[in-house]
Chains A and B, each alone.
Chain A
Amino acid sequence: MTEYSEYNPIVTFVYFLAVAGLAMFIMNPVLLTVSLLGSVVCFCLKRNKGEKANVLIFVGLFVVLALINPLFHHNGVTVLFLINDNPITLEALAYGVTASVMVISVLFWFRSFSALMTGDKLLYVFGRFSPKFSLMISMALRYIPLFAERSKKIKDARRAMGAYEEENLWDSVKGGVKVFISLTGQSLEKGIITADSMEARGYGSGKRTFFSRYVFKKKDGIALVLILLLTAAVMAAKMAGVLDFSFYPAAEGELFSVWAVGAYACYGVLTLLPLMSEITEREKWRYLRSKI
């Protein structure tokens, strides 16, 4: 279904780093519009089932963020109107809109990121660099649902012996704190058993390897190179000043020079990679299935 998620997690990770990173640090209205469109497409493609886009919240956030800037910044030559003797300028508004496009698109990128990069995959990416840190994350991830169950049990146990009252707010807070303390005591004691179990199985006996079920396939290599090339192209354009655009005092910068359009295209391809891979994989699958 979500074929792009079948890529090696390193590819997925680098992809989001590149696509969101570029959006965050290149303040170019056209590029950011491309980013917003791409991020929404990607989100619709990759979101978990049942997760709603919360369109209203995003629209609201967009409006607020767009309006904050002109209220605080009064430089800019095109005065629209005055509030309390402070000029509201077109340039400041334009900047606000651009910045909020940036923020919203980054939020969308990260939501797709969270949907795709499950704990397992993130651990795979970091596990190669930091086995100890990622082992601890893995342990903590195991404990979280366990502790939720445990604290439910403690709460029930305390209630059924008359030691958990919730007649008023203060009692509930006190009760909750006691449940938490009991949970802590029990979990710390039992944590030592886990440590024993780790040592019994050779933890700390020498250099550790990191087992993963993901393999780096040829298609991952191709995708990675493609991502890096496109990113490099956009970065080069940025360094060459092609994408420079300044808002104050008056909007300045050529948005649609040939080179700039080239850079937008590269970034556009980058943002649409998930969609393209999804389509090709779907076609491939249809073809393979027709042969079954």
Chain B
Amino acid sequence: MVVIKNSVIRNIIRIGVPFLLMPAVVAVGVFVFDDKSYAFVSLAVALLSCVLFVAGFEKKRTGTGRMALVAVLVALTVTGRFIPYFKPVAALTVITGMYLGGEAGFLVGAMAAVISNFYFGQGPWTPFQMLAWGMIGFIAGLFCDILKRGKLPLIIYGVFSGIFFSFVMDVWTVLWYNRTFDGSMYLAAIVTALPYTVIYAVSNVFFLLILKKPIGGKLERICLKYRL
């Protein structure tokens, strides 16, 4: 019973979400609620992209070894979020993306967000954090060759991901509070969040530079040794 039900539901999610639900969400957002309810739309889009990604992951066959490694990396990343101020969350996500592929990178970022929020507090921001960190890991997977090449690409990507994370979270904060996008308020949010953005960028670069070699090396060795 449960099995059939599950697969049906999963198929609905897989096919239904991109083709029907997403436009439907936008339509609901525009017509049902205020015509300016960007907050609702953005939240729904963030949630659904995560759902979509998980559905894709669910469908694929993943080696057990890879799964275990990703679970370990998620737990390490969550542990890393407890370090005050300078957090290696994005750096670990990037390193995972570089050495285990974009999908693993997305999973580590997204899962670390959900799980760490059990300790730091869940909220409507959770899907955005999932998406932001997830994307940081995913994009690292796409550009892994360039990122592995030298320090400069790594530094650039570290800074970029700090700004990207801040950007996504600020946009959401303003949308949530203000319901429509508001330039001056967004600017204010950017300015108040500037110290955090700087800390994100600096800690990303710092941790990427010192962790890339040892952790990347360990990941490479394990993948080689156990043929993952």
Contact = CB atoms under 8 A, between A and B. Distances in A.
Contacts of A20: 124
Interface stretch (A103-111, A222-230, A284-292): A103-111
A148 B124 contact: no
Interface stretch (B135-143, B152-160, B182-190, B194-202): B182-190
A207 interface: yes
B26 interface: no
Contact of A184 (B61, B176, B218, B226): B218
B126 to A, nearest CB: 9
Contacts of B73: 188
Contacts of B9: 128-129
Nearest to A129: B9
A114 B71 contact: no
Contacts of A214: none
Interface string A130-156: 111101110111011011100100000
Interface size class of B (residues with CB under 8 A): 35 or more
A133 to B, nearest CB: 5
Contacts of A235: 32
Given A106-B124, A133-B54, A184-B218, A192 B10 contact: no
Given A110-B123, A139-B71, A144-B78, A189 B222 contact: yes
A56 B163 CA distance: 31
B177 A144 contact: no
Between A119, A180, A187, A239, the greatest number of chain B beta carbons within 10 A of the residue's beta carbon is seen for A180
A130 to B, nearest CB: 5
Contacts, number: 160
B58 A198 contact: no
B40 interface: yes
A143 B72 contact: yes
A201 B121 CA distance: 35
Interface string A222-258: 0000000000000100110000000000000000000
Looking at B10, B34, B75, which has the most chain A CB atoms within 10 Å of its CB? B75
A195 interface: yes
B57 A132 contact: yes
Contacts of A73: 182
A111 B111 contact: no
B88 to A, nearest CB: 8
What are the 7 tightest A-B residue pairs by CB atom distance, in nearest-first order? A143-B75, A139-B71, A195-B68, A140-B74, A191-B72, A191-B68, A195-B65
